[in-house]
Structure 1
Amino acid sequence: MTAALISWGKGRRAAAAIGAVSLGLVTLSACEKPTALATVTVGSSTVTAEATPGCDGNGKELSRKAVAACITKKGGKTITVHPGEKVRVGVDPDVAKSGWIVIGAGPVMREPSKQTYRSFDADALFMQQNPQTGQTTYTKDVTLQVAELHEGDGPTTMWHFTLKQKD
């Protein structure tokens, strides 16, 4: 009688273990590659964001229409910046392999970067130049856009952050 109880208990444990492993494998097979993140750090404050909704081509170049819509989007996670501070922008290593750029109130980078992070002067990010008059003005807040490039061409993914200048 005791032998029958012992073997029944082992069988139940084995069935439970097989069920748990099977469920784990099904769960893992349903997982997709995690979304790449972009990070902005100012001083000791950091904000991290996933791609802006509608601005993720899943590795494929965004259409011109999608890029135009993404460029005009405002918002994203907000971080406060004091004059004279450094703004550090970081991306996942996979994004760095593709190349990426940062756009602020105007163009910020001359060439795409293959590094995982870059630093910028806050004052340059808030600077806007009027193309008609050539005058430079400063804005109180700016949407900072980080764009992953497809083989050095158009963007495949864009992240948005709002930088607010602290007086």
Structure 2
Amino acid sequence: MTAALFTGKARRTTAALGVAAAGLLVLSACDKPTPRVTMTVGTSSVNAEADCYDADKGIAEKDMKACLNKKPKESVKVAMEETLRMGVDPEVAENGWSLFINGEQAEPQPYKKTYRTLPGSAFFGPRQDGSPAPKEVVLSVVETGSNKLIGSWNFKLEKAA
């Protein structure tokens, strides 16, 4: 009769290798975090990962409407005289990004820098059509790539007194 004899050290080494292999397997199943977008007013700042994101295939235009309609997880208060500062990760800026207000595209050309500012009056000022100024808006940052939509980040902007 033969029996495999392992020393205590060999058993511990084998167990450690098994734990390490299992840990690598678990880590390989994790999703890579999406780029972040930050909104800052004065000393208050919020940031978020994307509500929708697909850097490889892109997001179909028919699906982008649903992405833009997702409830924002973050909100920031902005007074008319304050400045809203927006920052995106460098990979977002490299592709280009545009702003959408309440689901409607607010600018035709993508912006290619990591930082930009807008006055609060751009969101809460008097309207050209005479309608009352809103008390809150959903501001979406949409990353564009070579003829594809890559991701969207939604923030609620609330008018501060």
TM-score range, shorter chain: 0.7 to 0.9
Residue number in structure 2 paired with 1:116: 114
Alignment of 1:127-166 (within 5 A): 127=125, 129=127, 134-135=129-130, 137-151=132-146, 153-166=147-160
Could you give the per-residue CA deviations for residues 56-97 of structure 1, whole angstroms, max 9, x where no partner exists?
Answer: 345433323222333445544111112211111122222222
Percent of residue pairs bearing the same amino acid type:
37
Q: How many residues align?
A: 155
Give the SS at the match of 1:113: coil
Q: What stretches of structure 2 of length at least 5 have no aligned partner?
A: 1-5
Residue number in structure 1 paired with 2:16: 17
Could you give the per-residue CA deviations for residues 5-48 of structure 1, whole angstroms, max 9, x where no partner exists?
Answer: xx823223312321232122212322232222222111111112
| Aligned residues of 1:104 and 1:126 also touching (Cα < 8 A) | no
Which amino acid is the alignment partner of residue 160 of structure 1?
Answer: N
CA RMSD of aligned residues (A): 2.6
Residue number in structure 1 paired with 2:43: 44
TM-score of the pair, normalised by structure 2: 0.79
Which amino acid is the alignment partner of residue 124 of structure 1?
Answer: A
Displaced runs of 4+ in structure 1, greater than 6 A?
A: none
Q: What stretches of structure 1 of length at least 5 have no aligned partner?
A: 1-6
> Quick one: distance in 2 between partners of 1:63 and 1:146?
16
Residue number in structure 2 paired with 1:101: 98
| Aligned residues of 2:34 and 2:53 also touching (Cα < 8 A) | no
| Aligned residues of 2:68 and 2:154 also touching (Cα < 8 A) | no
